[in-house]
Amino acid sequence: MSIVIRNAYVVTQNKSRDIIKGDILIDNGRIIHVGNVRESGDIEIDATGDVIIPGLINTHSHVSMSLLKGQIDDLTFDKFLDKSFDIDAKRTKVDILAGARQGCMEMLLTGTTTFVDLYYSQDVIARSVEETGIRGVLGWAILDTQYTTQSGTPLDNAKRFHRDYKKHARIMPALGLQGVYVCSTETFLGAKEYALENDLLMTFHLSETRKEVADCKKKEGRRPADYLASIDFLNDHCLAAHSAWLTINEIKQLAQNGVKVSTCPASNMKLATGGVAPIPEMLQHNVTVSIGTDGSTTNNCLDMFREMRLLSLLQKSNRWDPTILPAQQTLDMATIGGAKAIRMDDQLGSIEAGKRADVVIMNGKSPNLRPMRIENIVSNIIYSACGADVKTVLCDGKIVVKDRRMTTVDEEKILADSEEAVRKLLS
């Protein structure tokens, strides 16, 4: 089925970062042409005056925790963890699915078409991906057996998930290592061996807090990134979330090994874990940086527009430099940077012929996006836009959001199910 979107401002995010006023032709899930489309499509979308961007890529989340939004707020980090673990131990497949459905719906309605997840029961979360129409890079949580509530060995569970789902559309199985505080050298290297054999992404928490760094130095004699480099774990299949407490030497280690980073500013600020991720230094050393929202207990919001704005303003404020992380560079992180982080930049991250048709149409009549000129569109996207500006979303060439409504699932039922699930979970 062919789709033509007409008369929009298209923020292509191609190598030249061209913004054109024109059309997009989509067929069989791929972008065929960007510019002047003369032929008709099976579906025609009039986007006159609207803004089109590539689907946003959220590179760190725990999507099923959407169910717990507002339940674990305003606590010190240790008490936050205690309450999180207490609730987590009681979770069932029913409430995990309810939370994942709600989270996937929230992301699509706010312009995210691909997300990276780190959690257990990814077979349940995969169901929400298939139902809602989003794309999920699903990292099964891996940690040492003495720390887990999973049945069986977490690494074996992750391997089984990969075998079962490796041929599913829009589901990319991955390995989700929890972090140095619960993963031994043996666990890290076992995951690495399987990931490289099967060309899988490995995502993990890295240097999120000072305590994590201090504990790793005490246990291993090195800071977390230095330790992972010393055991020959780091490689270009790695995506390190948070990465807030890094030294220059650790940044160089990440760069030399092709490790990508997912920075999560809202989460780190909300939990007051201190420090601001050294993004300028990462960029100076050519580390690919992407953006993650983290889960709904540490952020409460999966809107990547909020995350982009916050990231840029936080870095400017922290460095006393308004030129740090300008709008275009920030948008790059949420689009082509996110695609590079998940090793899919040949398929996603920009609106170009041959790529998958992940497309977000934003309402050009939103007052917060006006006045609109090609020269200020990107600035408006980063500093003025929000998820509510999203009108229509295509993922893999399918219309999954149309005029602010989901086309794939019953929104009211998803919300009702999540309310019932959280009531039972917290009772």
* Pick from 74-78, 96-100, 126-130, 234-238: least confident: 74-78
Q: Of 161, 107, 149, whose CA–CA distance to 306 is shortest?
A: 107
CATH number of 2-54+356-406: 2.30.40.10
Fold of 56-341: TIM Barrel (3.20.20)
Secondary structure (3-state) at 229? helix
DSSP line for 377-418: HHHHHHHT--GGGEEEEEETTEEEEETTEESSS-HHHHHHHH
The pLDDT of residue 81 is 82
The pLDDT of residue 21 is 97
- CB count in 10 Å sphere of residue 65: 26
Phi, psi of 54 (to 5 degrees): -65, 155
| pLDDT greater than 90 at residue 353 | yes
Residue 366 DSSP label: -
- The span from the first CA to the last CA of the chain, in angstroms, equals 47
pLDDT in tens, 113-169: 999 999 999 999 999 999 999 999 999 999 999 998 888 899 999 999 999 999 999
Q: What is the residue type of 221?
A: G
The number of residues making up the chain comes to 427
The pLDDT of residue 332 is 98
The pLDDT of residue 87 is 84
Distance CA 31, CA 53 (A): 13
The pLDDT of residue 10 is 98
Residue 356 DSSP label: B
Q: Are strands 289-291 and 260-263 parallel, antiparallel or unpaired?
A: parallel
The pLDDT of residue 274 is 73
| pLDDT greater than 90 at residue 309 | yes
Mean pLDDT along residues 297-322: 96
| pLDDT greater than 90 at residue 77 | no
| pLDDT greater than 80 at residue 229 | yes
Distance CA 31, CA 4 (A): 10
| pLDDT greater than 90 at residue 427 | no
pTM above 0.85, yes or no: yes
The pLDDT of residue 168 is 95
The pLDDT of residue 78 is 83
The pLDDT of residue 12 is 98
Distance CA 401, CA 407 (A): 6
Alpha helices, DSSP H, located in 289-389: 304-319, 327-334, 336-341, 377-383
pLDDT in tens, 358-403: 999 999 999 999 999 999 999 999 999 999 999 999 999 999 999 9
What is the token pair recorded at 277?
Answer: 């991720």
The pLDDT of residue 18 is 98
| pLDDT greater than 90 at residue 76 | no
What is the token pair recorded at 398?
Answer: 């399918």
The mean pLDDT value of the chain amounts to 96
Percentage of the chain modeled with pLDDT above 90: 91
Would you list the domain boundaries of the chain?
2-54+356-406, 56-341
The pLDDT of residue 222 is 97
